[in-house]
């Protein structure tokens, strides 16, 4: 088996998850050293172990070093198997990051799959379940990938308790895609999701979005988790254009006012709206892998983040593609994948 030697010191958990996905899809094994070496707590954390174990189950892999706080891992993939799976982070670790790790393998399988994930569904530094449903899954459909997603129950840090259900159909050949223009603006919707917290918090957040973007009453939504498991708050601003929808998310923090959380979301959305980009910075990172598996494609984005650059370098080690980015104007970059 071909094996790659990878250095994880220049990135975080994303490099690990991308390596797992690419290994399963290409049949190339890897050894990853210096995992999360520059983080305050280096090595593998619980949610990383869940992703590794999930990838091993889906891909019949042999794994060495999958232990808490381990800084090196050896992963040797086997045959991908479609089927019914259930994975739990055992905490409020992100369900969505685990799902994104195994999705490429599952759409490469020769049979449909269902995946039930337990843990956190709305976590800082991870795509929320709503982001996946509104922004990520529709773009996967353009590649010919059919994914069904149901948020059974939201889960927040630290209790977790969320449940996310996904179905994945085989996609034997991916269509190359170009996401260059988002099209005409259609509408915005703001949603404040709360668990065991006063509705006043959500109303204050939505009031900020109303003031910034003129959201009408029908575009402001308040959702309370019933029954609540622990205090939690996510504010989502869904921006719909004719060709693409993206969702910007902020999370309540102890000691940070509702107004400040909402202002952060509004500022991030405004940067996107002021640009000529189709794809926001975070989704760009996530679309790079299916685009590379398709062999070619392109998208415009607000900026090539450090995540995108490190992810691109890793993808080029596994796949015969070249990934480049070129600045189009002051607010927009074009990312190109060429086989």
Q: What is the DSSP string of 7-42?
A: E-TT--HHHHHHHHHHHHHH--EEEEESTTTTSSS-
Is 307 considered catalytic here? yes
Please identify which of the residues 118, 122, 244, 307 carries the catalytic annotation: 307
- Please give the structure tokens belonging to residue 174: 């991916």
**How crowded is the C-beta side of 127, counted as CA atoms within 13 Å?**
27
**Exposure of 26 in the CB half-sphere (CA atoms within 13 A):** 26
Tokens coding 272? 């996107």
What is the DSSP annotation of 268-337? Answer: HHHHHHHS--SB-HHHHHHHHHHHHHHT-EEEEES---HHHHHHHHHHHHHSS-EEEEEE-SSS-EEEEE
CA nearest to 180, candidates 244, 136, 239: 244
Report d(CA 315, CA 337) in Å as an integer: 10
Distance CA 293, CA 313 (A): 14
Angle between helices 95-108 and 281-294 (to 10 degrees): 20
Enter the tokens of residue 162. 């969320």
User: Can you tell me whether residue 338 is helix, strand or coil?
Assistant: strand
Task: Tally Cβ neighbours within 10 Å of residue 338.
Answer: 13
Q: Answer yes or no: are the C-beta atoms of 194 and 222 closer than 8 Å.
A: yes
Active site residues: 307
């Amino acid at each position: 088996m071909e094996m790659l030697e990878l250095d994880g010191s220049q990135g975080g958990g994303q490099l690990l998850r991308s390596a797992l996905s690419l290994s399963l899809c290409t049949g190339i094994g890897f050894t990853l050293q210096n995992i999360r070496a520059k983080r305050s707590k280096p090595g593998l954390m619980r949610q990383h172990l869940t992703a590794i174990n999930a990838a091993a189950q889906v891909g019949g892999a042999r794994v060495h070093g999958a232990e808490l706080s381990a800084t090196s891992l050896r992963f040797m993939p086997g045959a991908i198997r479609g089927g019914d799976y259930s994975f739990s982070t055992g905490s409020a670790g992100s369900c969505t990051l685990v799902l994104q790790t195994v999705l490429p393998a599952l759409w490469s399988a020769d049979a449909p799959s269902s995946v039930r994930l337990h843990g956190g569904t709305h976590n800082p530094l991870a795509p929320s379940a709503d982001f996946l449903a509104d922004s990520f899954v529709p773009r996967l459909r353009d590649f010919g990938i059919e994914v069904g997603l149901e948020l059974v129950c939201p889960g927040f840090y630290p209790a977790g308790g969320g449940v996310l259900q996904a179905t994945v159909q085989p996609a034997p050949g991916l269509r190359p895609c170009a996401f260059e223009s988002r099209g005409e603006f259609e509408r915005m919707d703001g949603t404040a999701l709360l668990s065991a917290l006063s509705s006043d918090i959500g109303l204050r957040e939505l009031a900020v979005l109303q003031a910034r973007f003129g959201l009408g009453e029908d575009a402001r939504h308040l959702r309370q988790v019933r029954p609540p498991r622990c205090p939690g708050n996510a504010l989502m601003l869904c921006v719909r254009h004719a060709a693409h929808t993206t969702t910007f998310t902020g999370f309540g923090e102890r000691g940070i006012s509702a107004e400040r959380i909402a202002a952060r979301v509004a500022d991030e959305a405004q940067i996107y709206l002021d640009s000529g980009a189709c794809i926001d910075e975070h989704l760009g990172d996530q679309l790079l892998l299916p685009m590379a598996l398709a062999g070619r494609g392109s998208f415009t984005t607000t900026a090539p983040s450090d995540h995108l650059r490190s992810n691109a370098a890793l993808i080029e080690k596994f796949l015969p593609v070249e990934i480049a980015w070129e600045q189009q104007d002051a607010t927009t970059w074009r990312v190109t994948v060429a086989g």
